[in-house]
Structure 1
Amino acid sequence: MSAQSTPAQPGASPPAITLQFERPEDGPLVDALIERAFGPGRYAKSSERVREFATFAPEMSVCAWSPESRGDLRLLGCARMWHVRVGGQPVMFLGPFAVELGERNAGFGARLIARACEAAQAAGQSHVVLVGDETYFSRVGFATAPGRAVILPGPVDQRRVLVRALTAEAGELAGPVEPA
């Protein structure tokens, strides 16, 4: 399990943030964070349809932890990854990505996503797909999928379907998102 410690805010002296891959015992805390971040409305999203058939990849899913004063660790954020196919090609689907409300804008959310993408690249994956805001995710290498090239189940704003190629020879993705 790889970990990385970085300060939460430049110029301040907050406790170190540790990024580590999700472990089975982290599941309940991650699920609770996702519930707080998205609420029950997340079940109506097309991303949730993908997660219903995708294969979870804990070895590429990253959690951000902060030490508490009594020595415990507190979960601050998560970026989950899932094995899927797009047009028959194996790729990763990122989401949900969540950060505790009081911890947003501390800068480690982008590090969570970057670390998850690094893990996918190290595992030989060619692309990562997600549904999100291009303004936010473009800073970690994501761009809008051209036209309606990547087709998710159910209705989705196609401008929010984003792709990050993990290698120079990855090429473009096209086709429906399907089980791996």
Structure 2
Amino acid sequence: MLELKPEKPDDWWEVEALFDLCFAPGREALSSYRLREGIAPVPGLSLVARDESGILAGAIRFWPVRVGGAATLLLGPVAVHPTHQGEGLGGVLIRDALDAARAEGWQRVMLVGDAPYYVRFGFTPLNDIQMPPPTNPDRVLGQALNDGAWDGVTGEVTRWWQDEH
């Protein structure tokens, strides 16, 4: 049995090790990491899943960004330890985290990922959004957490400044 909890500061390096295990070397060179650099994940929305022994099984993080000036959540990374892959844990992390984001009043979320995987969670292509290069525009996906939240939101994805609230 796995338990989901908000990520705590003490979880940071263990979660980073999981991301290193699950993603290719050089993951931090991606454009999404430049948007995250020096910015803290959104408190309470980044989750960890642990088994009954306390061993980390999965994690998901959200980061604040701006899209055409509009406050937006950037989902990612989300990772599941290889010993728990195929159990649906990634889906549980995504759904629970999106529910928490909606409850916290966030309007929209975006990510850079594989459309065939993320469409099952309600993500669709964001054709009028420009991620910093190099990003394949076909991998830029979004979801409105409230009806119409993406209406009229277009333009560049830019950094959120640490001192913003």
TM superposition score normalised by structure 2: 0.90
Structure 2 unaligned regions, length at least 5: 161-165
Pick aligned residue for 1:50 from 27, 35, 39: 35
- Counterpart position of 1:124: 105
Structure 2 contact 72–109 (Cα < 8 Å) conserved? yes
Q: How many angstroms apart in 2 are the aligned matches of 1:50 and 1:115?
A: 24
User: Secondary structure, in 3 states, of the residue corresponding to 1:114?
Assistant: helix
Matched, 1:169 2:148: yes
Let me know the Cα RMSD of the aligned residues.
1.4
Q: How many angstroms apart in 2 are the aligned matches of 1:92 and 1:171?
A: 12
Aligned positions of 1:143-158 closer than 5 A: 143-146=124-127, 149-158=128-137
Matched, 1:31 2:16: yes
Which segment is superposed worse, 75-84 or 169-178?
A: 169-178
Structure 1 contact 55–179 (Cα < 8 Å) conserved? no
Q: How many angstroms apart in 1 are the aligned matches of 2:138 and 2:70?
A: 21
- Counterpart position of 2:86: 105
TM superposition score normalised by structure 1: 0.83
Matched, 1:61 2:42: no
Which segment is superposed worse, 54-63 or 115-124?
A: 54-63
Q: How many angstroms apart in 2 are the aligned matches of 1:92 and 1:161?
A: 13
Structure 1 unaligned regions, length at least 5: 1-15
- More strand per residue: 1 or 2? 1
Q: How many angstroms apart in 2 are the aligned matches of 1:168 and 1:154?
A: 29
Aligned residues: 159
Q: Equivalent pairs: percent with the same residue?
A: 39
List, as ranges, runs of 4+ consecutive aligned residues in structure 1 with deviation greater than 2 Å.
none
